[in-house]
Structures are given as C-alpha cells and as structure tokens.
Amino acid sequence: MKKRTFMIWMLAGRLMAGCLAWAAVTAAQTATSAVTRVAQPSPGEAGDKAFDELRTKILQGGSTAGEQDMLLLLRMGERLGMPVEASITLRNYLMTHVRRSSELVRLAAENAVLCGDLKMAVGR
C-alpha cells in the first residue's frame, strides 16, 4: 500500500512539473511574439521621451485619457523594455475606466507576463 501511494505522489509531481514547464514555454512564446509584432519607436532618447510624455498624459488625464493612448503605451512599453512603468500606468488607468476592450485585456496580460507578475497575468 505504501509503495502505491509513493508512486501516485511521484506521478503527480512529474505531472505538475510538466504543466509548469509548459506554462513557462507558452508565456515565453507569447512574450516573444508580442515584442516582435510591435511597430513603435525604437529604443533611445526619442522613444523614451515619447513614452514618458504619453505616460504623463495618461496619469494626469484621468478619465479623459483614451483607450487608444493606453494601448499605444503598452506597445511602446514592450518595445522599449519598460513593461513595469507601463504596468503602473495601466493599474491607474483601469481604476478609472470600467469598460475594456479585449485587445486591452490581452495586452495587459502580456505586459504582466513581461513584468513577471504572473498572478496579475492570470487575473487579466
């Protein structure tokens, strides 16, 4: 009886490890494909400045900032390697905007994966 229980636990452990490995590979593929399809300003001072201006506009604009601005900020954050800054702005944006498009939710989840915030990625 003890041997059978041990074998069940071993099988469960291997199954869980396989699921975690699959999830990690899927997340990496999603993040890679998201970064390669973005056509925004290249990294550098011009891209950073545009990103900061848009981020400031969204943070100060409150309810006047549009969803297109937030989508653009998320794409720029991926392209420029600033997903954490985009995530902070996104949280403030989502507090004031109840209606969200499926594209915004998808980009928000991809951004959360890039930030390493897997709990938030699953929630979105």
Phi, psi of 25 (to 5 degrees): -65, -45
Mean pLDDT to the nearest integer, 38-60:
75
Task: Tell me the C-alpha distance between 97 and 57, whole Å.
Answer: 15
Distance CA 27, CA 30 (A): 5
Q: How far apart are CA 15 and CA 42, in angstroms?
A: 42
Where in the chain are the domains? 2-123
Whether this model's pTM surpasses 0.75: no
Structure confidence by residue, pLDDT tens digits, 94-118: 888 888 889 998 998 888 888 887 7
In DSSP notation, the chain reads -HHHHHHHHHHHHHHHHHHHHHHHHHHHHHHHHHHHT---PPSSHHHHHHHHHHHHHHHHHGGGS-HHHHHHHHHHHHHHT-HHHHHHHHHHHHHH-----HHHHHHHHHHHHHHT-HHHHHH-
Residues above pLDDT 90, as percent of the chain: 14
Q: Given pLDDT bands bounded at 50, 70 and 90, which one contains residue 47? A: confident
Taking the alpha carbons of 92, 95, 99, 101 in that order, is the dihedral positive or negative? positive
Q: Write the DSSP symbol of residue 114.
A: H
